[in-house]
């Protein structure tokens, strides 16, 4: 009997310890809230009461959230993680928080967010990501945030914001976007059109002030006329993988009637693909023939031009020599004529 009483008292003691308030925290049973702010915590405190609805962890030194970090508080509705040292959030960090409505992670060091991170928060209504170093947000969340009404990304490093991401928030009514590095080029035109419709339907936003290019720096995106934006050029087609290019080239060479490869050539194909990448890509046979034809034609044309030039030089030289010879002959003839005219007078007697 004494052993059973001892076991029962031990179980009650353990149950009270598991459901008690964590060290350095204040628990308010009337509101089911736990206040662990300003406590210098480096991680999520253990033994959180399972009936907790509000958890305050701001102004600490928490640098990471492990997967299933809040599995002991499945009923949690409000979570404040502002002013900590979070630089990354693993996708499973908020797993199990099916009832979470308010999430505040302002004043941290977050760089980017993954779309899977919020798949476990179907009831989220307010998300505040302000005052971080976020330069990239997911294009899509995979599924819409049907209940999200407040979305804040002020004071980050954002240059673009996908229109598809905003369209996945059909009920958002407050959108805070200022103090980012917005690049007001053609990629931001879709966001501009979405914001105009958002404001027309009663939404509230603090607007977007362009950070670049210099033409629009400091200008309000909503005040720039649509006509000044040029449509973005289509992205270039993706390049085929090197293996495919190499195999197509070899196949083309074989179709042009090249001799079959020797066994040694087959062994070459087994080498590391990186060695093949260094070698120049083989040209198709018809291209080689065309290049050879152009080269031969150029050589023949050059020889013909040289022969014509030599013939012209020879003709000019011959004409000059002939003209010079005829000039000398005419001169001699005129001199002999003069001498012949004097001879009758010389032959007369004195």
pTM beyond 0.85, yes or no = no
CA atoms within 13 A on the CB side of 254: 8
Question: What is the Cα–Cα distance from 59 to 129, expressed in whole angstroms?
Answer: 15
Residue with tokens 């013909």: 304
User: pLDDT tens digits for the chain (350 residues)?
Assistant: 444 433 444 443 344 344 579 988 999 999 999 999 999 999 999 889 999 999 999 999 999 999 999 999 999 999 999 999 999 998 899 999 999 999 999 999 999 888 888 788 989 999 999 999 999 898 877 677 889 999 999 999 999 998 889 998 999 999 999 999 999 988 888 899 999 999 999 999 998 999 998 988 999 999 988 777 666 777 677 777 776 666 766 776 666 654 445 544 444 444 444 444 444 445 444 555 666 777 788 888 888 888 888 888 888 887 878 877 776 666 655 555 445 444 444 444 43
Q: Helix or strand or coil: residue 324?
A: helix
Provide the 10 A C-beta neighbour count for residue 205: 17
CA distances from 158 to 77, 209, 211, 299, 324 (A): 28, 12, 10, 60, 89
Q: Which fold has domain 17-181?
A: 3.80.10
Question: What is the Cα–Cα distance from 350 to 342, expressed in whole angstroms?
Answer: 15
> Which residues neighbour 63 within 8 Å (Cβ) at sequence distance 6 or greater?
42, 84, 85, 86, 87
In this prediction, residue 305 carries a pLDDT of 83
Query: Any idea where the domains of the chain sit in the sequence?
Result: 17-181, 236-255+269-296
CA atoms within 13 A on the CB side of 33: 11
């Amino acid at each position: 009997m004494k052993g059973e009483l001892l076991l029962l008292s031990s179980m009650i003691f353990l149950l009270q310890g598991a459901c008690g308030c964590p060290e350095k925290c204040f628990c308010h049973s009337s509101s089911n809230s736990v206040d662990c702010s300003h406590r210098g915590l480096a991680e999520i405190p253990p033994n959180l009461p399972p009936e907790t609805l509000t958890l305050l962890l701001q102004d600490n030194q928490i640098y990471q959230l492990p997967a299933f970090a809040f599995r002991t508080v499945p009923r949690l509705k409000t979570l404040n993680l502002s002013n900590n040292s979070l630089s990354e959030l693993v996708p499973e960090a908020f797993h199990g928080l099916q009832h979470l409505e308010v999430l505040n992670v302002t004043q941290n060091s977050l760089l980017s967010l993954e779309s899977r991170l919020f798949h476990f928060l179907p009831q989220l209504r307010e998300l505040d990501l302000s005052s971080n170093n976020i330069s990239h947000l997911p294009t899509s969340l995979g599924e819409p945030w049907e209940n999200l009404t407040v979305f804040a990304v002020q004071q980050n490093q954002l240059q673009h914001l996908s229109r598809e991401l905003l369209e996945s928030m059909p009920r958002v009514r407050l959108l805070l976007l200022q103090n980012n590095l917005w690049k007001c080029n053609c990629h931001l035109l879709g966001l501009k059109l979405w914001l105009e419709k958002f404001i027309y339907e009663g939404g509230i936003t603090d607007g977007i002030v362009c950070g670049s290019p210099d033409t629009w720096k400091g200008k309000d995106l909503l005040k720039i006329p649509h006509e000044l934006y040029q449509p973005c050029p289509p992205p270039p087609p993706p390049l085929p993988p090197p293996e495919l290019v190499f195999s197509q080239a070899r196949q083309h060479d074989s179709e042009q009637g090249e001799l079959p490869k020797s066994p040694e050539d087959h062994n070459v194909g087994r080498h590391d693909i990186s060695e093949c990448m260094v070698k120049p890509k083989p040209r198709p046979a018809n291209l080689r023939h065309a290049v050879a034809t152009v080269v031969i034609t150029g050589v023949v044309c050059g020889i013909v031009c040289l022969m014509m030039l030599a013939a012209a030089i020879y003709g000019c030289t011959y004409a000059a020599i002939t003209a010079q010879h005829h000039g000398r002959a005419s001169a001699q003839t005129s001199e002999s004529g003069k001498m012949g005219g004097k001879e009758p007078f010389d032959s007369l007697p004195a």
